[in-house]
């Protein structure tokens, strides 16, 4: 994963990596399922300036691809746009290759998983720490409000363990064939995270609220994804409260 804002340094490599992996799967007869980790940004990009939308399996953020390839300068502020475009183009390339070649391997199933903003427990706090988005809740718990926090628009989230479970479902459930799986557990903003902190740690002082509102878009396929978790024996999505508390384990 790269956050270089220059699309020429990111998008072609993301596409090649995805397609080369799928080509390798096509060449190996023992491989029956190929699961590609895409991103919510391939289907929707939250924006306070955009009207709410109904997001379906056919939704794509093609506008973000055009924005990524717009004329330079490629400043740091454009990094997330380029990242989102790379996920869009990589997933599209996977589906395009599969459509062109599926007659050669009718026994090979392709599924993609589109997780939204990840919270949840660190796999190994001592060796891994809190990488990527998992570091934002801990830093807020410590009282830090960064420009990165402020730049994150209210949107959907998913617990990292649920992301893993959706990948397992995509790999083993026979009913899942050539589908996009939308990992959108529920809506969040930082004010909701701070409210969770205050509820469970009333003796501590936390920053004032700074992020209200919610993502008004409706993710139509999220119910189907939640059913996959139930098929695996789970009660449904992990809640924001559960996910945030797991995310800050070891800090209190």
The residue among 212, 236, 211, 241 whose CA lies nearest residue 224 is 236
- Token pair in block for residue 95: 């589906």
Does residue 108 form part of some domain?
A: yes
Tell me what pLDDT residue 131 has. Answer: 72
Over pLDDT 90: what percentage of the chain? 86
Does residue 2 form part of some domain?
A: no
Does residue 85 form part of some domain?
A: yes
Statement: residue 43 has pLDDT above 70: yes
Does residue 169 form part of some domain?
A: yes
Does residue 1 form part of some domain?
A: no
Does residue 172 form part of some domain?
A: yes
pLDDT digits (tens, 9 = 90+) for 170-224: 999 999 999 999 999 999 999 999 999 999 999 999 999 999 999 999 999 999 9
Beta-carbon contacts of 139 under 8 Å, excluding residues fewer than 6 positions away, are: 146, 149
Number of domains in the chain: 1
The residue among 115, 201, 199, 118 whose CA lies nearest residue 152 is 118
Rounded Cα distance, 198 and 216, in Å = 26
Tell me what pLDDT residue 176 has. Answer: 97
How confident is the prediction for the chain on average, in pLDDT?
95
Does residue 252 form part of some domain?
A: no
- Domain enclosing residue 223, as ranges: 7-247
CB 181 within 8 A of CB 115: no
Return the CATH number at 66: 3.40.50.720
């Amino acid at each position: 994963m790269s956050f270089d804002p220059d699309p020429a340094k990111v998008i072609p490599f993301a596409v090649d990596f995805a397609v080369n992996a799928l080509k390798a799967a096509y060449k190996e007869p023992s491989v029956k399922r190929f699961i590609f980790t895409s991103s919510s940004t391939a289907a929707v990009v939250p924006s306070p300036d955009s009207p709410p939308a109904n997001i379906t399996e056919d939704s794509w953020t093609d506008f973000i691809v055009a924005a990524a390839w717009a004329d330079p300068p490629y400043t740091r502020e454009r990094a997330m746009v380029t990242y989102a475009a790379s996920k869009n183009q990589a997933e599209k390339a996977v589906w395009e290759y599969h459509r062109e070649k599926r007659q050669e391997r009718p026994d090979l199933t392709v599924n993609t998983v589109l997780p939204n903003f990840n919270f949840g427990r660190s796999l190994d706090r001592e060796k891994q720490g809190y990488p990527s988005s998992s570091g934002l809740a801990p830093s807020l718990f410590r009282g830090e409000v960064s420009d990165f926090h402020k730049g994150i628009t209210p949107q959907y989230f998913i617990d990292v363990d649920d992301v893993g479970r959706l990948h397992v479902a995509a790999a083993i459930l026979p009913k899942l064939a050539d589908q996009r799986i939308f990992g959108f557990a529920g809506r969040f903003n930082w004010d909701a995270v701070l409210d969770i902190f205050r509820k469970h740690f009333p003796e501590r002082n936390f920053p004032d609220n700074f992020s209200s509102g919610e993502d008004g878009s409706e993710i139509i396929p999220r119910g189907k994804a939640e059913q996959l978790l139930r098929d695996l024996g789970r009660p449904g999505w992990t809640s924001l409260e559960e996910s945030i508390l797991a995310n800050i384990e070891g800090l209190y």
